[in-house]
Amino acid sequence: MMLYPKLIAVDAFPVEEDGKNLYCIRDPQNSDNNPLIVSELALYIMTFFDGNNTIDSIIAQIKKKYGREIEKSEFESLIEMLDDALLLENEKYFNHQKAVESSFNNSDTREAYLSNLSYPGSKDKLTALLDDFYVKAENKIPTQEKTGLLRGIISPHIDFTRGGTSYALAYRELLNGTDADTYLIFGTTHYAQIDNPFIVTRKSFSTPLGTADTNTQFIDKLGKKCGWDICEGEIFHRTEHSIEFQVVFLQHILADKKNFTIVPILCNSFHQFVSEGSSPSEDHRISTFLSELKQLVESLGNSVFIIAGVDLAHVGPKFGDKDQVDEKILSWISKKDAISMEFTENIDAEGFYRSVEEEKDKRKICGLSSIYSMLKVTDATFGTVLDYDKALEEDTGSVVTFASAGYYKGGT
């Protein structure tokens, strides 16, 4: 048995099973393993698995909180279960991660990670699903003629089941035509543990709808201008869904219309700047990357189109809050989201950022860095919110909000 057990970074959220309040534990970077369902006591025990506590010291803490002494055999069973699920930092886990990373690095293609999990793995079934979203989008909000040239969109990155119609309301804008053949996609990296503020990949993206090639020439120019390895941390693209979902919708809407390439960019967290009350613009690498990227985009004119795959608020016990959401909290979230989105309509990156920073990201806007980056780079002159919605989880008392928006140049 491990003397100083250490848990990897995991997702943990409440679930109900057979009338019991339990918790789901999973590795966010490895959906190949089945999640574990554990009791509140087991979850509490795991909070001490930081590599610094001995089994005896943990037993003492449990006795203090719960008034009962845990047998070492119970620890052994829990540790064995976590080890089998590759949730402990040990040689077995690191060997597995090394093999996964080696396989990813040696491939020119980023394979669809969530095919057959979040969406159908069959081309025909996936196409039918996406077609239906556009029907629902038209029923929800009939198409309206827009003025100005479409230069970018904000689309959700929530699962298709809950956000499919909102995706369609964003990508429907592309049906009116665009001169672009390169699609720059800003996505949120939810789990990257690296300092690189923007993680780019040269790998093509494969989905059931085909393969979307990257614009490697564009990426190489950008990397040369920045002067550091902009692909550092590329492994985090492997499991991240925020760009994969955009590629699926992009392939569908552009099918049989034109050849295109993508520039996939995962945006790292702005948590440090929010905590300090500073602006991301004060960071040398962030300001340099976005400035050089903007110049590249401007040099190519209307042939480059910008997409931000983002969600907005994440509030409730599932996301670390003490209280479940109620009508008062939902109303507050909606009002704050509207203020933030109005800044995006005005192409005001700093105003958008400050609308989140001033509350110390109480809403936990996971699209903060992606939206900020898009607003810094785009040549659009105004935006329009196309849809706003929420996914409320009654069993956890938590909510995710998301929006779709179009960004245009010229017109009104």
- Averaged pLDDT for residues 217-244: 95
The CATH fold assigned to 110-409 is Protocatechuate 4,5-dioxygenase; Chain B (3.40.830)
Radius of gyration of the chain (CA): 22
Structural domain spans, the chain: 11-102, 110-409
Percent of the chain whose predicted confidence (pLDDT) is above 70 = 97
- Averaged pLDDT for residues 142-147: 84
In terms of pLDDT, which residue wins out, 33 or 213?
213
In terms of pLDDT, which residue wins out, 52 or 33?
52
- Averaged pLDDT for residues 280-302: 97
Burial environment of residue 12 by CB neighbours within 10 A (0 to 12, 13 to 18, 19 or more): middle
Q: How far is CA 382 from CA 87, 187, 226, 299, 312, in A?
A: 46, 21, 28, 20, 20
Return the minimum-mean-pLDDT range out of 19-33, 100-114, 275-289, 369-383. Answer: 19-33
Mean pLDDT of the chain: 91
Q: What is the pLDDT of residue 34?
A: 67
Q: What is the pLDDT of residue 186?
A: 98
Q: What is the pLDDT of residue 32?
A: 62
Return the minimum-mean-pLDDT range out of 237-241, 325-329, 401-405. Answer: 237-241
- Averaged pLDDT for residues 5-14: 82
Kind of pairing, strands 109-110 and 382-393? unpaired
Q: What is the pLDDT of residue 48?
A: 87
Q: What is the pLDDT of residue 1?
A: 56
Provide the pLDDT confidence category of residue 33 given band limits of 50, 70 and 90.
low
Q: What is the pLDDT of residue 31?
A: 60
Percent of the chain whose predicted confidence (pLDDT) is above 90 = 66
Helix (H, G, I), strand (E, B) or coil at 38: strand
Please check the confidence at residue 411 and state whether its pLDDT lies above 80: no
Provide the pLDDT confidence category of residue 57 given band limits of 50, 70 and 90.
confident
Q: What is the pLDDT of residue 2?
A: 67
The whole-angstrom separation of Cα 195 and Cα 234 is 12
The whole-angstrom separation of Cα 393 and Cα 329 is 14
- Averaged pLDDT for residues 138-154: 91
Return the minimum-mean-pLDDT range out of 11-25, 71-85, 186-200, 238-252. Answer: 11-25
Q: Are 325 and 315 in contact (CB under 8 A)?
A: yes
In terms of pLDDT, which residue wins out, 289 or 65?
289
Burial environment of residue 64 by CB neighbours within 10 A (0 to 12, 13 to 18, 19 or more): exposed
